[in-house]
Structure 1
Amino acid sequence: MFIATNRFKVKHGSEAEFERVWRERDTYIASVPGFVAFDLCRGAEKEEYTLYISHTVWGSKADFEAWTKSEAFRLAHRDAGASSNRVNYIGGPEFEGFESVLSLTPGEKAA
């Protein structure tokens, strides 16, 4: 399993708009091979911004990499940075990718 995250530092006052953009956009991701799950998470409020992460779970790193090279990816990101998205950021998104080395479900124990 592979987990891909992007961190966003959203300036105070832009949180509602940031969340609206994510709720209303078509991600084109649901039918992509290897896609497992997506979450948009709001984190801590800092002095200048609120931290968010987008969090996707993939069957494998290869599945994620194939998504980044797909037409679905291009369609999902075509309006990124558009003036219609009035979100104030500090810097750009910060990508982090993780390969799962241990995954547990309820009732399981680590071996």
Structure 2
Amino acid sequence: MFIAMNRFNVIKGCEEAFEQVWLSRDSQLEKVRGFVEFHPLKGPEADDHRLYASHAVWRSRADFEAWTKSEAFRAAHQKAGGNKPLYVGHPQFEGFETIQTVSGNKSVSG
């Protein structure tokens, strides 16, 4: 599995607007091969912002990379530029290869 995350430092006072962007968007993810699940995450507060992260689980890095080159990706991100006033700086991407999955009472490596 591959986990793709983006971190956003959302300006204080803009949290509700930022959350609404994520909750109302047409992500197109459920139509994409290899997509497993997505979680928008709300993190801790700092003096001038609140940390948010998008957390997407993919079957493989190759499936994630194929999505980033797809029409579904372009459609899901067509309005993304309009949201920049809601956060400080640029989103920070982080990609992770899964080395173990623990689910319920079982553990799987790889």
Question: Taking structure 2 as the reference length, what is the TM-score of the superposition?
Answer: 0.94
Sequence identity (%): 51
Q: Does the CA contact (< 8 Å) of 2:3 and 2:98 recur in 1?
A: yes
Is residue 93 from structure 1 mapped to residue 91 from structure 2 by the alignment? Answer: yes
Q: Which residue of structure 2 aligns with residue 9 of structure 1?
A: 9
Deviation at 1:5, TM superposition (A): 0.1
Is residue 103 from structure 1 mapped to residue 101 from structure 2 by the alignment? Answer: yes
Which structure 2 residues correspond to residues 1-111 of structure 1 after superposition, within 5 A? 1-82=1-82, 85=83, 87-109=85-107
Where do 4+ consecutive residues of structure 1 move more than 3 Å? none
Cα RMSD (Å) of the superposition?
1.4
Deviation at 1:81, TM superposition (A): 1.6
> One-letter code of the match for 1:101?
I
Gaps of 5+ in 2: none
> One-letter code of the match for 1:15?
E
More strand by share: 2
Distance 1:53 1:102 in 2: 21
Distance 2:107 2:54 in 1: 28
Deviation at 1:86, TM superposition (A): 7.7
Q: Does the CA contact (< 8 Å) of 2:10 and 2:88 recur in 1?
A: yes
> One-letter code of the match for 1:79?
K
> One-letter code of the match for 2:81?
G
Q: Does the CA contact (< 8 Å) of 2:101 and 2:107 recur in 1?
A: no
- 1:88/1:68 Cα in 2 relative to 1: closer, same or farther (>3 Å)? same
> One-letter code of the match for 1:32?
V
More helix by share: 2
